[in-house]
Amino acid sequence: MSVRKLKPITPGQRFRVVNGFDTITTDKPEKSLLAPKKRSGGRNNQGRMTTRNIGGGHKQRYRIIDFKRDKNDMPATVKTIEYDPNRTAFIALLSYADGEKRYVIAQNGLKVGQTIVSGSGVSPEIGNAMPLSEIPLGTTISCIELHPGQGAVMARSAGSFAQLMARDGKYATVKLPSGETRLILLTCSATIGVVSNSDHQLLVSGKAGRRRWLGRRPRVNAVRMNPVDHPMGGGEGRSSGGHPRSRNGIPAKGFKTRSKTKASNKYIIERRKK
C-alpha cells in the first residue's frame, strides 16, 4: 500500500494525495461479474428527495462480490487484484478449480497466483475463510458473519479488522473495529487478515469537484440555514441557538438512539468507545 502526493501544478493538485495503486494488477473487470447500477439521486419511488446531498457522479457498474464464501473445500487461485468504485477496499478475482470465477474482498498481503480456500479444516492463512470455532485465539480477522450462512457484514471496509478474543460455549468473543466487544456464534465464518487498501484514510481529494465525481453534492451547514429549514437555522451571524441537533430535532452529541429493549443487546459485552 502506498500513497502519492502530486506536484502542485494546479490549485486542485496542491494538497491532493492519491492512492499509489501499486497492488492493483489490472484495470479491466471480469465482464461476467458486472451488473448495472441505477442511480436514484436521493429520490424515492415517488420522485421525492428522501436523502440530501446525493446526485451526479461518474457512471459505475456494480461488481458482484461473494460475501458468503460458500464454495467450501475447493481451492481457488487469485487471478487479479482490482479497484472497485463501489467500496473503499480492493477486490480479488478468484478462479476455482472447477472453472468458476468469483470476486471477494481482498486482504492485505494477498498476491496474484496465491491459492486460498474456504470451509472447515483449512489452515488459518491470509485470505482463507473458516468458522470462528476453528480460528486460533488472538487472530486478526475481517469480513465476519453475524448469522451463519448470511455472508460477511462486519469489518469489510478498507483497513478494518477485528480480533478473536475468546470462546465460551457456542459463542466467540470478538472485538470489532469500533471498539465494541460482542458475542458471535461459533458457526459464523470470517476471513483471516486485514482488509486491503489500509492507506485509504490518508487520501485527500484536493478539490470540491472530485467529491462531485463520487456523486456527492454540496452540503450546507445547519447554522447557515433559515429557521424554516433547520432547528439550528436563523439568528444574526453564527449564533446557533440551542444544542446541536439533526434536522428532525434529535440531539447530535451524546444522545443515545439505540433501543434499550433491542434483542441483540444481550450479545454486546462492551459498548464502543465514544
Set out the domains of the chain in order of their start, with CATH numbers. Answer: 3-201 (2.40.50.140)
Predicted local confidence at residue 240, as pLDDT: 65
Grid coordinates 482463507 are at which residue?
A: 128
What share of the chain has pLDDT > 70, as a percent?
99
Max Cα distance, the chain (Å): 69
Give the pLDDT band (50/70/90) at residue 1: low
Name which of 160, 196, 194, 195 is nearest 179 in CA terms: 160
Nine cell digits for residue 5: 502526493
Torsion of Cα atoms, 69 then 72 then 76 then 81, to 10°? 10
Give the pLDDT band (50/70/90) at residue 236: confident
**What distance lies between CA 134 and its chain's CA centroid?**
25
- CA separation for the pair 237, 41 (Å, rounded): 32
Amino acid at 185: L
Contact of 187 with 164, CB cutoff 8 Å: no
The model's pLDDT over 64-123, given as tens digits with 9 standing for 90+, comes to 999 999 999 999 999 999 999 999 999 999 999 999 999 999 999 999 999 999 999 999
pLDDT at 214 over 80: yes
Give the pLDDT band (50/70/90) at residue 241: low
Average pLDDT over residues 134-152: 97
Contact of 182 with 267, CB cutoff 8 Å: yes
Predicted local confidence at residue 239, as pLDDT: 74
Indicate the pTM of the whole model.
0.92
- Which region, left, alpha or beta, applies to residue 10 given φ > 0 means left and ψ of -120 to 50 means alpha? beta
